[in-house]
Amino acid sequence: MFDSLQDGLKGAFKSLRGKGKLTEGNMRDGLKMVEQSLLDADVSIDVVRSFMGSVTEQALGEKVLLSLKPEEQLVGIVNEELIKLLGPVDSSIEFNKDVNIIMLCGLQGSGKTTTCGKLAKLLQRENITPMLVAADLQRPAAIQQLHVLGEELGVPVYSEQGEQDPVKVCTNAVAKAKAENCKVVILDTAGRLAIDEELMEQLKTIDRKVQPDQVMLVVDGMTGQDAVRSAGAFHEALELNGVIMTKLDGDARGGALLSVKHVTGVPIRFIGTGEHLDNLEVFRPEGMASRILGMGDMLALVDEANKLVDEKEQARLQEAMEKGRFTLNDFRSHMEKMAKPGLMQKMMGLLPGMPNMGEISKMMNNSDTSGQMKRMVGVIDSMTAAERIDPSVVDVRRKQRIAKGAGVEPKVVSDLLKNFDMMKNVMTGMAGMGATEKMQKMQELQSGAMNPGMGMPKMKKSTGKRLTPKQRKKAQKERAKQLKLMKKNKKK
C-alpha cells in the first residue's frame, strides 16, 4: 500500500539521521522531501500546503532541533498530523430502527456492487443478514453480479426484472424489508462513467423518497484527485455520511486517501483492500497513519486473523487455550488457512517493521509462501497423534524420522516446533482476556513497537554506538549553540 509514498517519507526521515550537527537548513531539506513525496503521491495541493504548514512550525521548534534524534521527532510530528488529516471518524453504524437503510453511490467501476457484498459480509459477522437491492439499472451485469454475491453469502437480493425506474425498485424493496422484518437494507445504485445531471437527479429522488440512514460514497482510491472532485460533487447533491475508498491494495498512490477528508469534510469510514469479500476494513486514522509511515497496524492484523476462524472455531480455540491445550493440530489448521494465496503478503504488510511491501511483496511472490505453509502442514502430518498433542516428546531421533517422512531437513522440524511454542505462548497469554482487553493488549504491543513518546518503530537493534551521558550533554550543548547561532542569523 502506497509504496512510493512510504519510500519518499522514509528517505526524508533518513536524511536527518546520523547528522552530527543538525541545522535548520538540514531540517528544511528534510521537510522539502516530505512535501515532495506528498506531491508525488498526488495529494491535493491545498492539503499539502496546510499539512506542511503545521509540520514545519513544529519541526523547526527548539524541542526538535535540540533533540538527539530529530528524525524520530519528525516521524512523530508527521504521524500526529496524518492522524489529524485523516480523522476523526466514527465508523460505527447504528441500527436502532426497524429497517435501517444504507445507500451506496459512486461512479461506475468504483466498486459499489462488490462493496455491497463486502458490507453484507461484515454485517454477517455481527449476526445481521441484510437485504441487498439491485438498483443499478444502468449496468446490465450489475443485477446478475449482485445475485451471485447474494448467493455466495446466503443473503437475500431484491431485484425487479424489466423495471426501468430505480426509485420504484428501492421503495418496493424497503416495503418488502419492512414486511419481512429485515433489519438492514443496502441499496446498490447506478453509477456513470462521469458525473452527470441525470445521475444526480436520480440519486436525489431515491434519497428523498427512501430517506436512507446512511449515504456512503464508494470511491476508487486509484483515481487520485479525480476521485476527490467527484466526492465533492456527490456530497453537494446528497450530503454524504461517509466515503468507502476501494482498491487501496493496488497501485493507489495515496493522494485521494489523504485529500478527501480535508477537501470535502466527509470522513472515510471503510477501505477496500482487495477484490475478495473479506477485503473491507473499518477505517482507523491511527492505523492508516501508522501504515503510511511503515509502522504496521496491529489492530488490523488481529482483525484479519479473526476473519480466518469462524465463531465456533474461535470458541473451541479459546477453550483449548484456557485449558492450555493448544496443540499442533490447531497450529496445522491455522497454517492451512494461511496458505490462501496473497494472505500472508497482506498480513506481513500490517506488521510493524514490515512496511515496504514493494520489496517484500516481490520477495513473497518469488518465495512461494503458501508452498512453505503446505510444507509445514506436511511436517505436522508426519508426526504421530501423540506428538501433535505433546510435541515436547519430539527428541532428535523422532525429529529425524518426522523430517524424513515429510521430505525436509530436520532443521525445518525444529523451526516449526519453535514457531509453535512461540504462538502457543502468545495465545495462552491472551486466553481469558475479553475482546476489549485483547484490543488493549494489541495496542500496547503496537505502541511497544515504537519508542516512547515518538513514532519510530524499534524495527531492529540499533547498530550505532550509544552515547555516554557525558557525550550526550556535550551534544546537547552543541545543539543549543547551533540554535542560538541560527536565531542570531535570522535576526540579521
Binding site for ligand GDP (CB under 6 A): 106, 108-114, 139, 142, 191, 246-247, 249-250, 272-275, 279
Closest CB to ligand GDP among 188 and 213? 188
Q: Retrieve residue 316's grid coordinates.
A: 473451541
Closest CB to ligand GDP among 190 and 266? 190
**CA–CA separation, 272 vs 254, rounded Å?**
13
- As measured in angstroms, the least distance from the Cβ of 279 to ligand GDP is 6
Closest CB to ligand GDP among 106 and 349? 106
Is residue 469 classed exposed, middle or buried when 0-12, 13-18 and 19+ CB atoms within 10 A define those classes?
Answer: exposed
Is the previous residue joined to 88 through a cis bond, with omega within 30 degrees of 0?
Answer: yes
- As measured in angstroms, the least distance from the Cβ of 196 to ligand GDP is 15
- As measured in angstroms, the least distance from the Cβ of 339 to ligand GDP is 21
Q: What's the one-letter identity of residue 371?
A: G
Closest CB to ligand GDP among 33 and 190? 190
- As measured in angstroms, the least distance from the Cβ of 143 to ligand GDP is 11
- As measured in angstroms, the least distance from the Cβ of 188 to ligand GDP is 7
**CA–CA separation, 415 vs 113, rounded Å?**
44
**CA–CA separation, 149 vs 171, rounded Å?**
22
Q: What's the one-letter identity of residue 319?
A: E
Spatial neighbors of 447 by CB under 8 A, at least 6 apart, are none
- As measured in angstroms, the least distance from the Cβ of 109 to ligand GDP is 5
- As measured in angstroms, the least distance from the Cβ of 170 to ligand GDP is 16
Q: Retrieve residue 391's grid coordinates.
A: 510435541
- As measured in angstroms, the least distance from the Cβ of 276 to ligand GDP is 9
Closest CB to ligand GDP among 277 and 321? 277
- As measured in angstroms, the least distance from the Cβ of 275 to ligand GDP is 4
- As measured in angstroms, the least distance from the Cβ of 289 to ligand GDP is 20
Q: Residues of 182-200 as b/e, b for ≥16 C-beta within 10 angstroms?
A: bebbbbbbbbeeeeeeebb
Closest CB to ligand GDP among 145 and 290? 145
Closest CB to ligand GDP among 177 and 271? 271
- As measured in angstroms, the least distance from the Cβ of 199 to ligand GDP is 12
Closest CB to ligand GDP among 3 and 249? 249
Distances (CA, A) of 32 to 13, 27, 56, 58, 200: 11, 9, 10, 14, 41
- As measured in angstroms, the least distance from the Cβ of 297 to ligand GDP is 17
Closest CB to ligand GDP among 139 and 168? 139
3-state SS of 345-381?
A: HHHHHCCCCCCCHHHHHHHHHHCCHHHHHHHHHHHHH
Closest CB to ligand GDP among 52 and 245? 245
Find the length of the chain: 492
Closest CB to ligand GDP among 218 and 295? 218
Closest CB to ligand GDP among 139 and 399? 139
- As measured in angstroms, the least distance from the Cβ of 190 to ligand GDP is 9
Q: Give the nearest residue (CB) to ligand GDP.
A: 272
Closest CB to ligand GDP among 109 and 410? 109
**CA–CA separation, 184 vs 120, rounded Å?**
9
